[in-house]
Structure 1
Amino acid sequence: MELRHLRYFAVLAEELHFSHAAERLHIEQPPLSRAIKELEEDLGVVLFDRDRRGTKLTAAGSAFLQDTRRLFTVLEQARENAKAVAAGARGSLRIAVSDGATDPRFSEFLARCRAEEPEIEVRLSEVPLADQLRGLRSGDFMIGFAHTADVGEGIIAEPIWRDPLVIAVPARHELLAHKEVPLHELDGHPLVLCDPRVCEGYCRVLARLLGPLEHRQNVVERATPLEMMLTLVGAGYGVGFMAASKVPVSQRPDVVVRPLAVESAVITTYLLRSDSGDVTASLERFIFRLREGLGT
C-alpha cells in the first residue's frame, strides 16, 4: 500500500465517479482503476460497489475513508510541526473550538500564552462538536473548548467559564418593558436560534432552557455566526440569545440586550480533553495557566 493509493481512494470516495476523480487527480482513468484494485486486493475488502447506476462506497469503504482522513490529518500536522520546528518553534498545541466558545477572556488568555512561551505554536481549529470529540479521541486535537459536558466516554469535561445568557431583541420591542425578561414572556414570540449542525452544544443548552416552551416555540430562523443572528434580530425577524460576555463586542443601535429572569439561564464553557493521560509538558503549562486565571 502506497500513499498514492490512499490519496486516489480519498478523492474517488468524494467524487464517486471514476472519470471525475481521475480528472481531479490529473491522471487517466485506467491508472486510477488499477490503483483502487491494488488497494482492495491489499486490504482484502471491496471498497466500492460499481454498477450501471454508478459508484458508491461499501460499509468497509466508509470505515476506511474515516481512517484515511485521520491519517492525512496526522500527516499534515507532521508537516506543519516540522516547518514550525525549522522556523524556531519547540512544539505545538492543537486546539479545537466548537459552539462559538470564544470570548474576550479566551483572546486574553491566548495572548498571555504566546507572550510567555512564544516558541510554542498554538493552532486553533473551529469545528463542529462531533468532529472535535472524534479528533480528541484520535489524537488529532490535544484539547478543545465547547458549551457542553455531554461528551460521552473517553473525554473529560472541565468547566472553565460561566456566563449569563441574555436575549437580544429589536429596538422598540414590547419585551423591553421588562428589565429582566421572564421566560414565559417569550411564549409565542418568533425566535432566531443557532444552527445545531454548527453549534451543537450551545443548542443543547438553549433546548434545556426553552424546555417549558417546547410546544409553543416559534423558531423562524437558524443563524450562525453571532453577527448573522444580530442582523436578523435588528431587522425584526425575532428574538435571539447570546452570552453576556459577548455583549461589549457586539453592540448595535438596532438591537437591545436584556437579562433573563431565570437563574438557570447560564452558558458554561468547558475544557475538553482525552482521559488517556497523554499530556505533554507544554499542554500541562497551558492548562495550569487556564486554571490559574479562573478567578480573574
Structure 2
Amino acid sequence: MELRHLRYFVALAEELHFTRAAERLHIEQPPLSRAIKELEDELGVLLFDRDRRGTRLTAAGTAFLQDTRRLFTVLEQARENAKAVAAGSRGSLRIAVSDGAIDPWLSDFLASCRAEEPDIEIRLSEVPLSEQLRGLRAGDFTLGFAHTAEVGEGIVAEPIWQDPLVIAVPVRHELLAHKAVPLHELGGHPLVLCDPQVCEGYCRELARLLLLLEREPNVVEHVSSLEMMLTLVSAGFGVGFTTATRVAVSPRPDVLTRPLAVDSAVITTYLLRLGGGDDVPASLERFIVRLRDLVRLRENLGG
C-alpha cells in the first residue's frame, strides 16, 4: 500500500465521482480506477459501491476514510514538526478540547505560555471526546481538556477546575421564584440539553445529576451549541443547563439563570494525557506546572 493509493482513495471518497476525483488529482480516470482496485484487493474489502446511481462508500470504506484522514493528519504534524525543529523550534504541544471545556481565562494562560516559550508551538483542536481519546493514545494529541474522568485505561484524568451548573430559564418563568432551584422542581419542566454526540463527557456528568430526579427527565430538544440552547430557552421550548462561567460570556437579556440547590451541581474540567510513560517531554511538564500554579492562584483569589 502506497501513499498514492491513500490520496486517490480520499479524493474519490470526498468527490464520489471518478471523473471529478481524477480532475482533482490531475490524472486520467483509468489510473485512478486501477489504484482503487489495487487498494481494495490489498485490503480484501470493497470500499465503494458502484452502479448506475453513482459511487457510494461502503461501511468499510467509511471506516477506512476516518482512519486514513487521521493518518494524513499525523503525517502533516510530522512534516510541520520537522520543519519547526529545522527552523529552531523545540517542538509543539497539540491540545484537544472536548465538551466545550474552555474557560475564558484559558486564552490568557495560553497566550502567556506562548510569550514565555515562543519556540514551543501550541496548537488547539476542538474534537469529540471519543476522537480526543483515540488521538491521545495514537500520539496525535499531547494533552486535552474534557468534562469527564471516564476515559479508559492508559489515560490520566487530572481534575483542574470546577464550575457551578446553573439553570437557564426565560424571563418571568416560575422557577425564578427560587434563589437556588431544588432539583425536584425540574421534574415537571421540559429540558433542552446538549447533544451527547457533541458533548459526550459533559452529558455523562449531567446524566448523573438527573438520576436524582424522581421521574424520567422530559428532554424535548438536543442542541449542539450554547447559543442554540439559549435561543430555545428564550422561545419557551424548555429550560437548559449551562455553567456560570459560560453564560457570563454569552449573556442574554431574555434568559436568566439560577443556581441549583445541590452541592454536587458542578462540572469538573479534567486535563487528559497519556499515562504510563516516564519520559515526559520537558515542554509538557512545564505547561502542566504552569497550569496547576495558575489554578491554585485562582482558587486562593476566590476564582
Q: TM-score, normalised by structure 1?
A: 0.89
Is 2:77 aligned against 1:81? no
Amino acid corresponding to residue 207 of structure 2 in structure 1: A
Residue in structure 1 matched with residue 290 of structure 2 by the alignment: 289
Residue in structure 1 matched with residue 228 of structure 2 by the alignment: 228
CA deviation map 1:134-168 (0-9, x unaligned):
10110000100000011111211111111111111
Alignment of 1:248-259 (within 5 A): 248-259=248-259
Distance 2:60 2:238 in 1: 46
Distance 1:174 1:199 in 2: 28
CA contact (8 A) 2:192 2:229 kept: yes
Distance 1:50 1:229 in 2: 39
Structure 2 regions of 5+ residues with no counterpart?
298-303
Is 2:136 aligned against 1:136? yes
Distance 2:56 2:264 in 1: 47
Structure 1 regions of 5+ residues with no counterpart?
none
Tell me the CA shift for residue 49 of structure 1: 6.2
Residue in structure 1 matched with residue 204 of structure 2 by the alignment: 204
CA deviation map 1:60-92 (0-9, x unaligned):
756654443232011111233345446653321
Q: TM-score, normalised by structure 2?
A: 0.87
Q: 1:52 to 1:232 in 2, by over 3 A?
A: closer
Alignment of 1:1-296 (within 5 A): 1-14=1-14, 18-19=18-19, 21-40=21-40, 43=42, 45-48=44-47, 52=51, 64-85=64-85, 89-213=89-213, 215-277=215-277, 278-296=279-297
Tell me the CA shift for residue 32 of structure 1: 0.9
Distance 1:200 1:161 in 2: 18
CA contact (8 A) 1:40 1:46 kept: yes
Other structure's SS at 1:237 match? coil
Amino acid corresponding to residue 47 of structure 2 in structure 1: F
- Aligned-pair identity (%): 78
Provide the aligned length of Structure 1 versus Structure 2.
295
Distance 1:168 1:40 in 2: 52
- Alignment RMSD (CA, Å): 2.5
Amino acid corresponding to residue 159 of structure 1 in structure 2: P
Amino acid corresponding to residue 48 of structure 1 in structure 2: L
CA deviation map 1:180-206 (0-9, x unaligned):
000111112121111111101111111
Deviation larger for 269-278 or 179-188: 269-278
CA contact (8 A) 2:49 2:58 kept: no
Distance 2:212 2:174 in 1: 21
CA contact (8 A) 1:163 1:266 kept: yes
Tell me the CA shift for residue 115 of structure 1: 2.1
Distance 1:84 1:228 in 2: 40
